[in-house]
Amino acid sequence: MDKNKDFSEWYTWILKEAELVDIRYNVKGFPVIRPWAFSVMKKIYSAYEDELDRNGHSPMQFPAVIPESNLNKEKEHIKGFEDAVFWIEKAGMNRLEERLALRPTSETAIYPMYALWINGISDLPLKLYQSGTVWRYETKATRPLIRVREIQWIETHCCFATKEGAEAQIIEDKAIAETIIGDVLGIPFLFFQRPKWDKFPGADNTYAADSLMPDGKVLQIATTHMLGQNFSKPFEVKFSDSDGKEKYVWQTCYGPGMSRIFAALISHYGDDKGIVYHYQFSPIQVVVVPIYKGENKAKIDNYAAGIMRVLKENDIRAYYDNSNNTPGFKYNRWELKGIPIRIEVGEREIDANKVVIVYRDTREKKTTELESVANDVSQAGKEMFERMKSAVFENMRNSIDKSEDMDDIGKKLDLGKIIKIPFCSMEMEGEPCYEQIKDKLKAEVRGTLFGSEEKPKSKKCAICGKEAHEYAYVARQY
C-alpha cells in the first residue's frame, strides 16, 4: 500500500489490517478502538499524566452528565456547543425534569464545584485534570480517531489569583506539549494562537498544536484556552485575597486529544508495509522468529526460550512466534503491526551463539552476541526512534513555505504545504480575508505562531492588499 500516493486509502487500510480500529459498530462516528491501538494510547495517557503530575496538577474524575442549566450559564459557550450536544431526556420510562448533556467538554460541570472548593488565596492555584471521554455530535464526515463523536482526551482546568498566573499556565501547557508530543512521541507540530473568530466558545484566546499529516492537511492535536474570568463570574468562582477583598479567579483549560495524537503517531511513522511503532510505546517491543529447517525445531525452540528469558528479565516486552506460518509470512505480519525489533534465530545463530537483530524502519540486519542481546535490543530501539524522529521533523520543516500572492498560496497548498503569509489582522476585521481563503483556496487561517515576536515590515496583506500587521499561517485541515 503506497502511503505517499494515496494517504487516505493507506490510512483506512492500516486501521483495518493492523487491527487498530473496527468501524462496524452500528452507530456512526463511534468506532471500536481495538487492543493493538488502545494499549499504545494507554501508554500515551500515562506519559501525559506523569508530566502533568510533575507540573503540579492533580487527577480528578467528574460525572459524564451535565445539567442543562449548567450549560446555559455561559452564553457564548452554550451557543458554540448547542449543535454538538448529545441530550439525555429519559431515564427508564420516566422523562427527566431537566435534560442532561453528555459532556462535550467539562467547564460547566467542574466550575460549580470549584465555587465550593475555592474560598481563600491559600486555595490557589488549583490545577486539576481528568482523563476520559467527551461526546460531540460531529455533523461532518466522520473519520476514525480523527473526527469522531466519542473523543478520548485529557482535560485540565486551572484557577489562579491573577491574570499573569493564567498566562503563565498557557506557556506551561505549550511546554508540556513540546515535551510529550514533540520530544517523547516524536510528533512535529506548530503552536498557534488562533484567530479571534476561531477561539473556543467562552474563551478570551485559544492556542493550538497543529501537526501536518502526510496528505498535506493539518490535524489539531491539542488546545489550550485562556478563559479569563468568563466562567468564574457566572459560576461564582471567587476567593478572598490577602487584602481582604473578594475576587474572581482567572482560569485556563487544556485538552490534548489522545485519539488524534495516536492518529498522528501512526500516520507520521507508518510506511508502505504498515505501522512503525516507537520502541518505548509498542505493545510488543521485540518479536523472536525461529527459522525452522528439517528436524531442528526443538533445538531452535530451546535456544529461543533462553533469549525470551533474558529479554523478559530485562523488562523487554517480547513475543515468540513459533506458529506454523512461514518466516516470510511472520515477517510481513509483524511489520504490518509495527513491532520495532525482530530477532531471527536459526541454526547458524545457534552454532555461533549469536542472534540477528532486524530494525523495522530500515530492515537493516545486525548480528550480536547472545550475552548482550538485551542491551543491544534496547539500544537498537532508541537508535531507530531517533533516526525516524529526525526524518519526520525534517519533513515538517521542509513543508513550511512563504507567500505573498493569492495564486501562489493556492499552488503551494496543492503541494501539501503550510504557508506563512503577511496578514491584515487576527481580530474580527480580518474575517473577510479569512472568508476568501476558505472559499477560494479551501483552506483555513490557523493563526499566528505563539511566542514569535516577528512582525511584517512594510508589507501588504496577501489577501486584501491592506497593511499587514502580523504573519498568519494558512493550511488545509481535517
User: In CATH, what number is assigned to the domain containing residue 90?
Assistant: 3.30.930.10
The per-residue pLDDT of the chain, averaged, comes to 95
Does residue 116 share a domain with residue 61?
Answer: yes
Does residue 250 share a domain with residue 190?
Answer: yes
In a domain, 353, yes or no: yes
In a domain, 278, yes or no: no
What string of H, E and C letters represents the secondary structure of the chain?
CCCCCCHHHHHHHHHHHCCCEECCCCCCCCCEECHHHHHHHHHHHHHHHHHHHHCCCEECCCCCEEEHHHHCCCHHHHHHHCCCCEEEEEECCEEEEEEEEECCCCHHHHHHHHHHHCCEHHHCCEEEEEEEEEECCCCCCCECCCECCEEEEEEEEEEECCHHHHHHHHHHHHHHHHHHHHHHCCCCCEEEECCHHHCCCCCCEEEEEEEECCCCEEEEEEEEEEEECCCCCCCCCEEECCCCCEEECEEEEEEEEHHHHHHHHHHHHCECCECCCCCCCCCCCEEEEECCCCCCHHHHHHHHHHHHHHHHHCCCCEEECCCCCCHHHHHHHHHHCCCCEEEEECHHHHHHCEEEEEECCCCCEEEEEHHHHHHHHHHHHHHHHHHHHHHHHHHHHHCEEECCCHHHHHHHHHCCCEEEEEECCCCHHHHHHHHHHHHHHCCEEEEEECCCCCCCCCCECCCCCCECCEEEEEEEEC
User: In CATH, what number is assigned to the domain containing residue 344?
Assistant: 3.40.50.800
* 134 pLDDT higher than 70: yes
Bridge partner list, 320: 288
In a domain, 281, yes or no: no
Domain-ending residue, one of 242, 269, 296:
269
In a domain, 1, yes or no: no
Full domain range(s) for residue 41: 7-269
Identify the band that residue 406 occupies on the pLDDT scale cut at 50, 70 and 90: very high
| Predicted confidence (pLDDT) per residue in 43-57, tens digit | 999 999 999 999 999
Q: Please report the pLDDT score of residue 138 as a whole number.
A: 80
Q: Please report the pLDDT score of residue 141 as a whole number.
A: 66
Does residue 408 share a domain with residue 388?
Answer: no
In a domain, 157, yes or no: yes
User: In CATH, what number is assigned to the domain containing residue 464?
Assistant: 3.30.110.30
In a domain, 197, yes or no: yes
**Per-residue pLDDT averaged across 326-344, rounded?**
97
Contact indicator for 13, 19 with CB cutoff of 8 Å: no
Does residue 221 share a domain with residue 184?
Answer: yes
Domain-ending residue, one of 373, 392, 411:
392
* 428 pLDDT higher than 80: no
Does residue 82 share a domain with residue 203?
Answer: yes
Does residue 254 share a domain with residue 368?
Answer: no
Lowest-confidence region among 273-287, 389-403, 418-432, 463-477: 418-432
Q: How many domains does the chain have?
A: 3
Does residue 161 share a domain with residue 89?
Answer: yes
Q: Please report the pLDDT score of residue 429 as a whole number.
A: 64
Does residue 310 share a domain with residue 182?
Answer: no
In a domain, 413, yes or no: yes
* 361 pLDDT higher than 90: yes
Does residue 298 share a domain with residue 202?
Answer: no
Does residue 226 share a domain with residue 89?
Answer: yes
| Predicted confidence (pLDDT) per residue in 268-318, tens digit | 999 999 999 999 999 999 999 999 987 889 999 999 999 999 999 999 999
Contact indicator for 223, 254 with CB cutoff of 8 Å: yes
Domain-ending residue, one of 211, 243, 269:
269
Residue % of the chain over a pLDDT of 70: 99
* 1 pLDDT higher than 90: no
Q: Please report the pLDDT score of residue 186 as a whole number.
A: 98
* 34 pLDDT higher than 80: yes
Helices 431-441/406-414 angle, 10° precision? 50
Does residue 337 share a domain with residue 229?
Answer: no
In a domain, 276, yes or no: no
Does residue 60 share a domain with residue 16?
Answer: yes
Q: Please report the pLDDT score of residue 76 as a whole number.
A: 81
* 75 pLDDT higher than 90: no
